[in-house]
Amino acid sequence: MTAELQPVDGAAGRSIIRKNVALLPVAPNLLDYPATCAAFKWDEAARLLDGLPDGQGLNMGYEAVDRHLRHGRADKVALRWIGKAGARQELSFGQLAQQTNRFANALAALGVQPGERVFVMMGRVPQLYIAVLGALKARCVVTPLFSQFGPEPIATRVEAADARVLVTSPELYQRKVKALRERLPGLRHVILAGAGGAGGAVGDDWAGTCRWDEVVATAAPDYAIGPTDPESTALLHFTSGTTGRPKAAVHVHQAVLSHLVTGIYALDLHDDDVFWCTADPGWVTGTSYGILAPLCNGVTSVVVEAEFDAQAWYSVLQRERVTVWYTAPTAIRMMMKLGAQALQGYDLSALRFAASVGEPLNPEAVLWGLDAFGLPFHDNWWQTETGGIMIANFAALDIRPGSMGRPLPGITAAVVRRTEGGGVEPVDEPMVQGELALKTPWPSLMRGYLHEEERYRKCFAGEWYLTGDLARRDADGYYWFVGRADDVIKSAGHLIGPFEVESALMEHPAVAEAGVIGMPDPIVGEVVKAFVALRTGVAPDEALRRELLGHARKRLGAAVAPKEIEFRANLPKTRSGKIMRRLLKARELGLPEGDLSTLESDEQP
Ligand code: AMP
């Protein structure tokens, strides 16, 4: 046992996980936290990257793939893919370089220009990884789309970013995209990867699409990456806010430095690691840490196509001899439900470091890791806008279960309060609640929200980026998550904007008003619940409730749609007519109703 639980002196009910660094199987990259933080400089860290040959700039795709060929890793396995039906495929860095070159050449042959948007919407299949990295090398802007989105979130995002290319599977295309094509004139090319659909053939039914096998697999395997400005856009990641349409956070090629450094410090990646990030690349964690961070660190990544299943996951950990595992609270809680006995008989001796992200990780889950795996889960925190891990529990350092940990080297965090002058100031006293803020800049900080300057500007106060999360910092500098300052919902690690859900419900002719909130759930964190007021003359009954649930599911996809709908005569609103979700939630949970001075019309009993 390299870590053990000990009570903290004087802190009632609190415990601490003490690490015995001398017993760790591998010496952690970050040993002396204060000294490393004090000495860290981003421009010095940048020397860990190669940059394009001949001073042609910095390209994320090159740093993730091609540069390793110059460092003797051409034959090293970059991606080890395990398919749903048990098929396996390994791609070395050398093969990945060639495949991504083919993809970049295919884009050029289709007339796609640098800067144009390439959307990728697939399950976790090798073509997804090739398309993302190939498009980056072609200096296109990559946007991942969650394959479980319904047609509405897909159309909204494709339209907002003016996507030129979509790479998807024949099955997803037929089911979700085909009917939208007329609405999306800017989407010129749809590349279909994988078998399925009408026998995989491109006939009338497949007008306006081309097949991966024809355009990519046949393209040349050599490609010279053009000059890439480190400040040019590489990725657009959609994220949700409380109001309005989803926002597209703009990330630049330079962000790869954050991916590299956080892979070293927060995930403790070493050259001979076998890394497994369970997040889907349709979301930011699956892209930054399922693709970029391990690859730019030259580490072998396991990619598992199948969805969560505890026993199947234990088999993967055992069979692939995974050493570093990056997963999420919902999955951990699902494993906890099955109990540690489900792990019996598995040899997980290769596993040396486990981390978690995306939602609050309850202290019991951290401790359960220690009990079940002999390793605690190391919680860490970041968000779409920060582009990389900002706060983490580190391999060599003690863990305070329930805390997100401490800021990464190169990152200054603070809990801030608003000042009278409209700015913010750090709160120095420990354990005072305030907004979590990060001192700008760092390489992976978003450079904007696409076409939404005002929304972007509001995220900053002076030198601080405001995260929209509420937190506390203890006297030793550990951060404790309190909650969101806004109404966005985190369900199974996916950020859901209530507005998007309300809009889909409002499209139904029976609905007059909709208010959507997150209800606490012991496994997935929060589930989406909608309150609906019906149009005059429409009767609320079970059949309509089910119809609305089905309508939302069809429009939004199961991951985003409400799980529960409750009818109300009308909903509480502010004087400006906004539905007061905060009040709906407080009432639902029996919490204090807070300031009601803006309340105009209330629910009727
Ligand atoms: P996303 O942009 O979808 O990655 O969501 C980011 C949000 O997820 C953060 O602003 C937090 O509200 C939440 N989050 C991420 N990591 C953690 C964590 N370790 N603990 C608590 N909340 C988290």
Are both 194 and 259 inside the same structural domain?
no
pLDDT-based confidence at residue 201 (cuts at 50, 70, 90): low
Are both 177 and 271 inside the same structural domain?
no
pLDDT digits (tens, 9 = 90+) for 135-160: 999 999 999 999 999 999 999 999 99
Residue closest to 208 by CA, chosen among 233, 244, 178: 178
Element (H, E) at 126: helix 126-137
Q: Is residue 359 part of a domain?
A: yes
CA-closest residue to ligand 1 atom 5: 383
Can you point out the beta strands (E) in 27-102? Answer: 77-82, 88-92
pLDDT-based confidence at residue 7 (cuts at 50, 70, 90): low
3-class SS of residue 84: coil
CA-closest residue to ligand 1 atom 21: 360
- Locate the ligand 1 atom nearest the alpha carbon of residue 283 and give its number: 3
Average pLDDT, the chain: 93
Q: Is residue 354 part of a domain?
A: yes
For 201, other C-beta atoms within 10 Å of its C-beta total: 10
Across residues 63-74, what is the average pLDDT?
98
Tell me what pLDDT residue 86 has. 87
CA dihedral 325, 331, 334, 335 (to 10 degrees): -10
- Locate the ligand 1 atom nearest the alpha carbon of residue 237 and give its number: 2
Are both 495 and 582 inside the same structural domain?
yes
Tell me what pLDDT residue 429 has. 96
Element (H, E) at 473: strand 464-473
Q: How far apart are CA 452 and CA 121, in angstroms?
A: 24
Burial of 414 (0-12, 13-18, 19+ CB in 10 A): buried
Whether the predicted pLDDT of 482 surpasses 70: yes
Least confident of 82-91, 191-200, 273-282, 460-469: 191-200
Tell me what pLDDT residue 202 has. 55
Tell me what pLDDT residue 599 has. 77
Alpha carbon distances (Å) from 334 to 230, 277, 367, 545: 41, 17, 15, 29
Are both 251 and 364 inside the same structural domain?
yes
Question: Which one of 359, 404, 488 would you pick to mutate in the ligand 1 pocket, going by the greatest count of ligand atoms within 8 A of its CB?
Answer: 359
How many angstroms separate the alpha carbon of residue 359 from the centre of ligand 1?
Answer: 5
| Distance from chain centroid for Cα 63 | 21
Domain count, the chain: 3
Q: Is residue 511 part of a domain?
A: yes
Residue closest to 544 by CA, chosen among 590, 492, 505, 496: 505
pLDDT-based confidence at residue 199 (cuts at 50, 70, 90): very low
Q: With pLDDT > 90 as the criterion, what percentage of the chain qualifies?
A: 87
3-class SS of residue 384: helix
Q: What is the CATH number of the domain that holds 295?
A: 3.40.50.12780
Are both 519 and 476 inside the same structural domain?
no
- DSSP letter, residue 306: S
Whether the predicted pLDDT of 2 surpasses 70: no
Q: How far apart are CA 388 and CA 99, in angstroms?
A: 26
Q: Is residue 69 part of a domain?
A: no
Among 484, 513, 538, the domain-final residue is 484
Tell me what pLDDT residue 12 has. 43
Among 179, 201, 228, the domain-final residue is 228
Tell me what pLDDT residue 243 has. 76
Q: Is residue 392 part of a domain?
A: yes
Tell me what pLDDT residue 83 has. 96
Across residues 25-45, what is the average pLDDT?
97
Confirm if 425 and 483 have CB atoms less than 8 A apart: no
Domain membership of residue 170 as a residue range: 90-228
Are both 258 and 308 inside the same structural domain?
yes
- DSSP letter, residue 340: G
- DSSP letter, residue 383: -
pLDDT-based confidence at residue 605 (cuts at 50, 70, 90): very low
Alpha carbon distances (Å) from 339 to 70, 323, 326, 378, 523: 46, 22, 20, 19, 14
CA pseudo-torsion sign 224, 230, 233, 236: positive
Q: Is residue 77 part of a domain?
A: no
Tell me what pLDDT residue 194 has. 87
pLDDT-based confidence at residue 185 (cuts at 50, 70, 90): very high
Among 193, 228, 263, the domain-final residue is 228
Across residues 476-486, what is the average pLDDT?
92
Tell me what pLDDT residue 105 has. 98
Are both 269 and 290 inside the same structural domain?
yes
Are both 593 and 451 inside the same structural domain?
no
Are both 199 and 272 inside the same structural domain?
no
**Radius of gyration, CA atoms only, the chain:** 24
pLDDT digits (tens, 9 = 90+) for 373-428: 999 999 999 999 999 999 999 999 999 999 999 999 999 999 999 999 889 999 99
Q: Is residue 458 part of a domain?
A: yes
Residue closest to 566 by CA, chosen among 589, 550, 542, 586: 542
Are both 531 and 399 inside the same structural domain?
no
Q: What is the CATH number of the domain that holds 176?
A: 3.40.50.980
Tell me what pLDDT residue 198 has. 46
Across residues 254-259, what is the average pLDDT?
98
pLDDT-based confidence at residue 195 (cuts at 50, 70, 90): confident
Whether the predicted pLDDT of 13 surpasses 60: no
- Locate the ligand 1 atom nearest the alpha carbon of residue 495 and give its number: 3
Tell me what pLDDT residue 415 has. 98
How many angstroms separate the alpha carbon of residue 383 from the centre of ligand 1?
Answer: 5
- Give the chain's largest Cα–Cα span: 73
Q: Is residue 199 part of a domain?
A: yes
Confirm if 552 and 530 have CB atoms less than 8 A apart: yes
Q: How far apart are CA 90 and CA 320, in angstroms?
A: 12
3-class SS of residue 524: coil
pTM assigned to the model: 0.93
CA-closest residue to ligand 1 atom 6: 383
Q: How far apart are CA 215 and CA 202, in angstroms?
A: 13
Are both 475 and 500 inside the same structural domain?
no
Tell me what pLDDT residue 180 has. 94
Are both 376 and 523 inside the same structural domain?
no
Element (H, E) at 548: helix 542-556
pLDDT-based confidence at residue 34 (cuts at 50, 70, 90): very high
Alpha carbon distances (Å) from 582 to 196, 529, 585: 45, 13, 5
Does any ligand 1 atom lie closer than 6 A to the CB of residue 487? Answer: no
Tell me what pLDDT residue 517 has. 96
CA-closest residue to ligand 1 atom 22: 359
Tell me what pLDDT residue 3 has. 73
Confirm if 388 and 359 have CB atoms less than 8 A apart: no
pLDDT digits (tens, 9 = 90+) for 323-342: 999 999 999 999 999 999 99
